[in-house]
Amino acid sequence: MSDGFQTARLYVEINHRAKDGALSCSHGVASEQDQAVMDGWTSGGLVQGSNALLIEYLRRESYVMALTILTQEGKTLEDVTPEDLMERVRLQTLRMLDHIGQGVAEETVKRITSSQRGG
């Protein structure tokens, strides 16, 4: 713990199918010690983990957008603004949500239902 922060680590597993580019992923706590830390947080760390993964997504997507501006659009570093990156990330996030959101929601309902039935 430093600067008043408690630290817990998560892992993200990414599965990529080369033939069609399909992706699937999973995540979890990296160790029992990390689980113990998160168990002490409100909601057992669910909210903090979700928010942390979202922050990392936004960081990575912003970086991809900046690289796109520089490499594919031929612009310079001076052309890259936080406002432009934010708008591009917002639009990309909405496109992704439209593309995969329904499936993610269905998967969540299936998992919750299964866990309630003891499956």
User: Do 55 and 106 share a domain, yes or no?
Assistant: yes
pLDDT at 11 over 70: yes
pLDDT at 2: 63
User: Do 13 and 53 share a domain, yes or no?
Assistant: no
pLDDT at 87: 96
Residue where the block lists tokens 């990575």: 60
Global pTM value:
0.83
Number of domains in the chain: 2
Distance CA 119, CA 103 (A): 20
Domain extent for 10: 1-40
Higher-pLDDT residue of 27 and 115 is: 27
User: Do 67 and 119 share a domain, yes or no?
Assistant: yes
User: Do 3 and 56 share a domain, yes or no?
Assistant: no
pLDDT at 119: 61
User: Do 59 and 19 share a domain, yes or no?
Assistant: no
User: Do 33 and 51 share a domain, yes or no?
Assistant: no
Please check whether residue 52 is in contact with residue 44, taking contact to mean a CB–CB distance below 8 angstroms: no
Q: What is the mean pLDDT of residues 85-114?
A: 94
2: Cβ contacts below 8 Å, ≥ 6 apart: none
